[in-house]
Amino acid sequence: MKKSVTIITLVFITVTFAGAMYYLYSKNQEDPVVYNTEKPSKQSIVNKTVATGSILPMEEVLIKPNISGVIDEIYVEAGDLVKANDLIAKIKVIPNLSSLNQARNAIDQAKITLDDERRKYDRQKSLYEKGVISKQDLERFEVTFKQAEQAYEAARQNYDIVKTGSTKGLGSSANTLIRSTVPGMILELPVEVGNQVIQSNNFNEGTTIAALADVNRMIFEGKVDESEVGKIKEGYPLEITVGAIENATFDAVLDYIAPKGKLENGAIQFEIKGTLQKQDSTFIRAGLSANASIILARADSVLTIKEALVQFDDESKSPYVEVKTGEKEFERRDITLGISDGIQVEVKEGLSEDDEIKIWNKIEGL
């Protein structure tokens, strides 16, 4: 019995020893682990955030009529350049019957008064010629007579205005002639010949006949998320890219950040505006979609590495990399980081252009 136990024990020890030797032999035959390295490089880094929006005129003027009626003629088209006081359209007045009747009655009343004052004046003039009354009395009746003449003429002009929108002597001041109030380009003509328009007054903003603006003074208007609004300030530079204009970037300056955000699609959005600094002859159409890159920080020609190469200490959270010191040897090197664009990060201290940094993707079989 003891002999059998001894034999089994010896067999177990022999098998275990053989397995250990085979394991060590196999490990010794495995290919060494090799890591690639990468050197720092000099690059420019721009830290920016992007806002979406559109290109709009800085000042868009809406031309509205001072009288209601029907569009009789239109003298311009969208895209035309106009000067201040240029003719845009003409309105044909459709008179209100009640107002027309009142104006007609006012003429009749003024005519009655005028005839009465004329008779009085003629009578007093005859008496003055006979020496019955003084010249001062005659002049008083003459003034009253001329006032009646003026009232009659005003009643006639008012009737013409109610009926046609204009009267003799008004010329270019007629309400029926719609003119531009500022120089610029016609952006839109929302009416056509035959359309009825409503005058602008205290109770109604009126019908827009034309929209015009100076297309050389454009702004970017967009929105940024609440997570980004704390990083930007007025005066920051913008780089505007327009989807419809390829290979073109326009510089702008951030002029306005809304003090109050609005809830849109479950997130708070803040409106921003930036004035374009247009330097070339590129024509930018109003309303084009655009993206604005808001430059938060910039560093030109600085030493950079990929962010993926940076490690952080578990305790101090300080950044470091592993720098190659020999054939298969690396050492830890603490570094000081600057700005980052999400891919490349600036290295302020700790590295030189000749250092080789371990890439944490080992290569098998070398």
Over the stretch 67-91, which tens digit does the pLDDT of each residue have?
888 898 999 999 899 999 899 998 8
Which of 10-24, 74-88, 221-235, 347-361 comes out lowest in average pLDDT?
10-24
What rounded mean pLDDT belongs to the chain?
82
- Taking the alpha carbons at both ends of the chain, their separation in whole angstroms is 55
Environment class of 294 (CB within 10 Å of its CB; exposed 0-12, middle 13-18, buried 19+): buried
CATH of domain 34-48+300-363: 2.40.420.20
Mean pLDDT within 244-248? 83
| pLDDT (0 to 100) of residue 233 | 87
CATH of domain 60-93+170-213: 2.40.50.100
- For residue 170, the surrounding DSSP H or E stretch is none
Q: Is the pLDDT of residue 321 over 80?
A: yes
- How far is residue 10's CA from residue 17's CA, in Å, rounded to a whole number? 11
| pLDDT (0 to 100) of residue 77 | 92
Nearest to 20 by CA among 9, 8, 28: 28
Higher pLDDT, 34 or 286: 286
What is the DSSP code string of 204-246?
------EEEE-TTSEEEEEEEEHHHHTT--TT-EEEEEETTST
| pLDDT (0 to 100) of residue 62 | 92
Contacts of 103 by beta carbon, 8 Å cutoff, 6+ apart: 155, 158, 159, 162, 163
Domain ranges for the chain, please list them: 1-30, 34-48+300-363, 49-57+217-230+250-294, 60-93+170-213, 97-164
Q: What is the pLDDT of residues 98-144, one digit of tens each?
A: 777 888 888 889 888 888 888 888 888 888 888 878 888 888 888 88
The strand pairing partners of 219, in sequence order, are 56, 275
Q: What percent of the chain has pLDDT over 90?
A: 18
Handedness of CA 182, 186, 188, 192 (dihedral sign): positive
| pLDDT (0 to 100) of residue 102 | 85
What the block records as the tokens of 293 is 């890159």
| DSSP character at residue 231 | T
Q: Is the pLDDT of residue 54 over 90?
A: yes
| pLDDT (0 to 100) of residue 260 | 92
| pLDDT (0 to 100) of residue 271 | 92
Cα dist. 26→20, 30, 31, 86 in Å?
10, 7, 10, 95
The strand pairing partners of 345, in sequence order, are 305, 340
- How far is residue 155's CA from residue 291's CA, in Å, rounded to a whole number? 60
- How far is residue 124's CA from residue 127's CA, in Å, rounded to a whole number? 5
Domains 60-93+170-213 and 97-164 share a fold: no
Q: Return the CA Rg of the chain.
A: 44
**Do residues 42 and 353 lie in contact, with contact meaning Cβ atoms separated by under 8 Å?**
yes
Q: Is the pLDDT of residue 177 over 90?
A: no
CATH of domain 49-57+217-230+250-294: 2.40.30.170
**Do residues 111 and 152 lie in contact, with contact meaning Cβ atoms separated by under 8 Å?**
yes
| pLDDT (0 to 100) of residue 26 | 62
**Do residues 210 and 88 lie in contact, with contact meaning Cβ atoms separated by under 8 Å?**
yes
Q: In what order do the strands lie in the sheet with 60-63?
A: 60-63, 210-213, 184-188, 81-82
Q: Output the CA torsion 183→186→187→193 (10° steps).
A: 140
| pLDDT (0 to 100) of residue 138 | 82
What the block records as the tokens of 359 is 């890439």
CATH of domain 97-164: 1.10.287
Q: Is the pLDDT of residue 31 over 80?
A: no
Contacts of 18 by beta carbon, 8 Å cutoff, 6+ apart: none
Q: Is the pLDDT of residue 249 over 80?
A: yes
**Do residues 328 and 334 lie in contact, with contact meaning Cβ atoms separated by under 8 Å?**
no
The pTM of this model reads 0.61
Mean pLDDT within 251-272? 90
Q: Is the pLDDT of residue 150 over 80?
A: yes
Q: What is the pLDDT of residues 291-310, one digit of tens each?
A: 998 888 888 888 888 888 88
